[in-house]
Chain A
Amino acid sequence: GDSVTQMEGPVTLSEEAFLTINCTYTATGYPSLFWYVQYPGEGLQLLLKATKADDKGSNKGFEATYRKETTSFHLEKGSVQVSDSAVYFCAPSGNTPLVFGKGTRLSVIA
């Protein structure tokens, strides 16, 4: 079945540092790819998405590029803020509903 592997957390960064969270997936067919974010005490929110190969999703300074050849969708941000502290989930979806990994907890310190 479909699956996703994210880098283990927690990730702790200083404000304005560069962020990369790795994500690789296996899926049948040609999935769409999503990053969801869960802020403390809140529900899951869509952060960004990409629906075909080489598409770049972007939102709030975060970016991820759909790499079909490496089955990856790594999340990046050039300069993180304290407010970015949250748990980030990579999830493919297409012929089957969203498949989530364990998530990566990010803590940004001032």
Chain B
Amino acid sequence: DTGVSQNPRHKITKRGQNVTFRCDPISEHNRLYWYRQTLGQGPEFLTYFQNEAQLEKSRLLSDRFSAERPKGSFSTLEIQRTEQGDSAMYLCASSFDAGRHNEQFFGPGTRLTVL
């Protein structure tokens, strides 16, 4: 295991379509995070899981965004009815923590382009 992986690396879709991204964390990590990064900005926290429990989801950008981590391993982020404003880099990170949030390891990201 060499790190956090994300698939696909690039996704081009038409407005109104649904998209799903996958993140595979470092295998022993119990926490998994999703961020969005737009051009010229820092990553913006969206949601995170501890094992299979989604502990924070109030930062998801709208009800079109949802995330799952059903078995406490990989996670998926789905965007329904995509809009052009959803175009961004979607980053996944993982960590091994209990309590406080500490060092996170990031994947390479999935770049979404909505036409």
Q: Which B40-64 residues have C-beta < 8 A from chain A?
A: 40-45, 48, 56
Q: How far is the CA of A40 from the CA of B103 in the complex (A)?
A: 22
A residues in contact with B107, CB < 8 Å: 43
B43 to chain A, nearest CB (A): 5
Of the listed residues A34, A93, A98, the one surrounded by the most CB atoms of chain B closer than 10 A to its CB is A98
Q: From DSSP, what is the main secondary structure of chain A's interface residues?
A: loop
Contact of B43 among A45, A96, A100 (CB under 8 A): A100
Contact bitstring A92-108, B, C-beta under 8 A = 1, else 0: 01111111111100000
CB pair B42–A102 under 8 Å, yes or no, is yes
A residues in contact with B41, CB < 8 Å: 102-103
Q: How far is the CA of A89 from the CA of B45 in the complex (A)?
A: 14
Q: Please tell me the size bucket of the interface on A.
A: 20 to 34
Of the listed residues A43, A46, A49, A97, the one surrounded by the most CB atoms of chain B closer than 10 A to its CB is A97
CB pair B108–A43 under 8 Å, yes or no, is yes
Q: Please tell me the size bucket of the interface on B.
A: 20 to 34
CB pair B91–A97 under 8 Å, yes or no, is no
CB pair B42–A101 under 8 Å, yes or no, is yes
Q: How far is the CA of A43 from the CA of B37 in the complex (A)?
A: 11
A53 to chain B, nearest CB (A): 15
A44 at the interface (CB under 8 A from B): yes
Residues of B bordering A, CB below 8 Å: 33, 40-45, 48, 56, 91, 93, 100-109
Residues of A bordering B, CB below 8 Å: 32, 34, 36, 42-46, 49, 51, 89, 91, 93-103
